[in-house]
Amino acid sequence: MWKGRFQQPTSALVQRYGESVSFDWRLYAHDIRGSIAHAKGLEKIGILTTDERQSIEDGLLGIKADIDAGSFTWSIELEDVHMNIESELTKRIGPAGAKLHTARSRNDQVATDIRLYTRDAIDQISHLTRDLQRALVECATRGQDAIMPGYTHLQRGQPVYFAHHLLAYVEMLDRDASRLADTRKRLNVLPLGSGALAGSTIIIDREFVAQQLDFDSVTQNSMDAVSDRDFAAELLFDIALLGVHLSRLSEDIILWASAEFGFIALADAHTTGSSLMPQKKNPDVAELTRGKSARLIGNLTALLTLLKGLPMTYNRDMQEDKEPLFDSLDTINLALEVFAEMVSGMDVNREKTAAAASDPLLLATDLADYLVTHGVPFRQAHEVIGKLVHHCLEVGTTFHDLTVADYQQFSPAFESDVTTVLQMDVALAARQGIGAPSPKNVASRLAQWRETLSV
């Protein structure tokens, strides 16, 4: 493609080092779509005749069919997906194929292809994220009545519903879906027509081409257009944070599935055994997901590091943007899909969660709140209940074993109704604030999510 300037062919070693077709071939459908739109733009300004444009379109669709069927031969001598397709097109249809690259560069071409590809990828990730939300809502609905301890510092804190815990991840995933939607809006701007860096003297109707490709608008600075990979970095951040959320859910599932907790049972189909210990049932899906989140963070770091020292405009370093992007897309898609399947087969062990939630100390804060409603300042109430907890641990008793007189030794504000605070159903029903885990709130939020997600 640059034989006019160079007198020697590119070294075979340089070709091997510089080729990208081994991984950017996956852009072929988007490259072909972008080229068809570009051809229509060239036809509109008279560079191509209608017959030439139609010949180009038919030729490109024929190439696409061959690639779809796996019968297309890729050549590293042609470096990338773009030149492989353009070269084959010219072979098939002749001079009209050589006109296709008029008024564009590989710089704005690849920038367009990546945006098209990434836009479709976001739609797929968003769909799979919603599927996982649905699986969590379904699982929460099945275990709606199960009570478990909520934890801080991995120490038992206060009682919550199992469903409330799962719905926390539904909320996280909803923010992930929102971020993906925002990223999609920002990337949906057409760079094609920016040329190598300074546009072209052959003026194409860029708004027309944008309409052909369903872009909302066109870029306004040709230098920025060809060098911008903000959208890729933003998407890799979205994916990395989504991976972190999956990793946190994985950690809960790994703990819950252990013999020490026993809060859930995972289906055999989503666990593995041990080659040595026949009794083992390992939560490998959750462990792998927890591990793969590190790759997602690493890919984001790789892209940001790649971009941070680049001058305007396009630099060949930017070829390295694709592999981290492709890897993260492949990883998160599979993780979301398998996680949704695993959660759909996950059941809560009500006996185990109830036994853990029966720890009377989980209601220590409720006793402090009781004193507050009886006129005791909270900091003083906190100290009183702290001493009460210490007393129970020291003598080996529980809140339930204490008499009203025992309570009154710690504060005269305790009255005969103090024992009602220690009833789990009363304690949970009292948590009526917005977002708190009362039975009414949990049921309402589940209903809202079922409606939103069409569960």
Task: Report the CATH number that the domain containing residue 124 is assigned in CATH.
Answer: 1.20.200.10
Could you say which of 71, 153, 416, 454 is catalytic?
153
Summarised one tens digit per residue, pLDDT across range 287-328 is 999 999 999 999 999 999 999 999 999 999 999 999 999 999
Instruction: Please determine, for residue 142, whether its predicted confidence score (pLDDT) is greater than 60.
Output: yes
Residue 145 counted as domain residue: yes
Contact 324, 299 (CB under 8 A): yes
CA distance 236 to 291: 17
Contacts made by residues 366-372, CB under 8 angstroms, sequence distance 24+: 366/158, 366/421, 366/422, 366/427, 366/430, 367/399, 367/418, 367/421, 367/422, 370/414, 370/418, 370/421, 371/411, 371/413, 371/414
Classify residue 227 by burial, with Cβ atoms within 10 Å: 0-12, 13-18, 19+. buried
Categorize the per-residue pLDDT at 2 as very low, low, confident or very high, splitting at 50, 70 and 90: low
Helix (H) or strand (E) holding 189: strand 189-190
Residue 6 counted as domain residue: no
- First CA to last CA across the chain, in angstroms? 54
Q: Compute CA distances 213 → 28, 84, 387, whole Å.
A: 15, 22, 69
CA distance 260 to 253: 12
Residue range(s) defining the domain that contains residue 377: 356-453
Q: Are residues 173 and 85 in the same domain?
A: no
Tell me, what's the pLDDT at 1?
A: 58
Q: Are residues 166 and 61 in the same domain?
A: no
Residue 406 counted as domain residue: yes
Instruction: Please determine, for residue 35, whether its predicted confidence score (pLDDT) is greater than 90.
Output: yes
Q: What's the half-sphere exposure (Cβ side, CA atoms, 13 Å) at 257? A: 26
High-pLDDT (> 70) share of the chain, %: 99
* Mean pLDDT confidence for 185-209: 98
Tell me, what's the pLDDT at 3?
A: 61
Q: Is 400 a catalytic residue?
A: no
Q: Are residues 242 and 317 in the same domain?
A: yes
- Output the average pLDDT for the chain: 96
Of 75, 102, 129, the residue that ends a domain is: 102
Q: Are residues 31 and 143 in the same domain?
A: no
Summarised one tens digit per residue, pLDDT across range 368-389 is 999 999 999 999 999 999 999 9
Q: Are residues 343 and 363 in the same domain?
A: no
> Residues 31, 37, 39, 44: what is their CA dihedral angle, to the nearest 10 degrees?
-160
Residue 198 counted as domain residue: yes
Q: How many domains would you assign to the chain?
A: 3
Contact 239, 329 (CB under 8 A): yes
Q: Are residues 190 and 74 in the same domain?
A: no
Of 86, 102, 118, the residue that ends a domain is: 102
Could you say which of 11, 178, 258, 274 is catalytic?
274
**Which two tokens mark 243?**
């991976």
CA distance 188 to 180: 12
Residue 220 counted as domain residue: yes
Of 102, 119, 139, the residue that ends a domain is: 102
* pTM of the shown model: 0.95
Q: Are residues 267 and 279 in the same domain?
A: yes
Q: Are residues 346 and 361 in the same domain?
A: no
Q: Are residues 117 and 256 in the same domain?
A: yes
Q: Is 416 a catalytic residue?
A: no
CATH number for 53: 1.10.275.10
As a whole number of angstroms, the longest Cα–Cα distance in the chain is 101
Tell me, what's the pLDDT at 8?
A: 78
Q: Are residues 265 and 412 in the same domain?
A: no
Helix (H) or strand (E) holding 149: strand 147-152
Which residue from 233, 375, 218 is spatially nearest to 297, judged by alpha carbons?
A: 233
